[in-house]
Amino acid sequence: MEEEEEGVIEFYSFTDEMRDQAESQLLNDKTSLSPFIYTKFEKQASKMWNDFYKHNSTNFYKDRHYLIKEFSEMLSMNVLLEVGCGVGNALFPLSLEAPLLKFQVCDFSAEAIRLLKSNENFLPDRMQAEVCDISSNLPSFIEPCNGVLMLFVLSAISPEKHRLTIINSTQNLTQGGIVFFRDYAKYDLAQLRLAKKGKKKLKDNFYLKQDGTRVFYFTTEYVQEIFEGFQIVENQYHYRLIKNRKDSKDMHRVWIQAKMVKINNY
């Protein structure tokens, strides 16, 4: 399920009753998939994302036109690194709204990078793009960056690799530079649907999706834990009620948005 759905979007309050109901649904999903399955899909992660982009091309995710509104600090930056850039749904809107900003982008999927570079809006004088497994390798970009964008990317990575992914992603981030984070949160409708189906859980809050990709659902406490050593200036849940006019369904989505300032070198 994509983080942005078609329909009318409203804010809503997440009540204690809603939390109790959601927690009950998650607790009913008691069985985790075997270590063999866990390891299999960890090893095949790159293949699954390549297959995803070969099947969906540039048509699955919508362009992110909200980023400058949410992360206005980007306008005063010189270089932004985006990890997990996909096919450019953040890159290309940002390049129009911040015309002086240079971009370094990388993705796990070679197919995603191929599609991104073939886009007519790809500007080699402002944009560098490469294939990189950021969970185990450093990107090859040399120029320091002022910001790192992590947009629905950590959720696709095994939780045991989250901390190393953050360290790798911020190696070239200048002191005082900002990590911009937005990702799926615990009790999101998509998580509850996976729990209801059963036989999808890899670990607590970590699931195997139908297409073979994986998804993790965050809490603000966990975000604070994995970004230890950073100054956290924002870390909050975003609750969105999406009213789908086509089938008259209400969808309760939950995301986390956070901003962290780099104050230490690793």
Residue 129 sits in a domain whose CATH number is 3.40.50.150
- Residue 197's nearest CA partner among 181, 208, 186, 205 is 208
On whether residue 95 sits in a domain, the answer given is yes
C-alpha–C-alpha distance, residues 42 and 33, integer Å: 13
How many structural domains does the chain have?
Answer: 1
Residue type, position 241, single letter: L
C-alpha–C-alpha distance, residues 166 and 148, integer Å: 10
Cβ 93 vs Cβ 64: under 8 Å = yes
164: Cα within 13 Å, side-chain hemisphere: 11
pLDDT in tens, 59-76: 777 879 899 999 999 999
Q: What is the pLDDT of residue 67?
A: 95
On whether residue 207 sits in a domain, the answer given is yes
For residue 208, the enclosing domain spans 8-262
DSSP 104: E
- Residue 25's nearest CA partner among 163, 239, 197 is 197
Q: How far is CA 223 from the centre of its chain?
A: 13
On whether residue 236 sits in a domain, the answer given is yes
C-alpha–C-alpha distance, residues 190 and 120, integer Å: 33
The token pair at 54 is 């070969």
- Any residues with CB less than 8 A from the CB of 208 and at least 6 apart, and which? 33, 37, 41, 200, 201, 202, 214
pLDDT in tens, the chain (266 residues): 344 555 556 777 888 999 999 999 999 999 999 999 999 999 999 999 999 988 887 777 787 989 999 999 999 999 999 999 999 999 999 999 999 999 999 999 999 999 999 999 999 999 999 999 999 998 899 899 999 999 999 999 999 999 999 999 999 999 999 999 999 999 999 999 999 999 999 999 999 999 999 999 999 999 999 999 999 999 999 998 887 767 667 788 999 999 999 997 76
On whether residue 1 sits in a domain, the answer given is no
On whether residue 172 sits in a domain, the answer given is yes
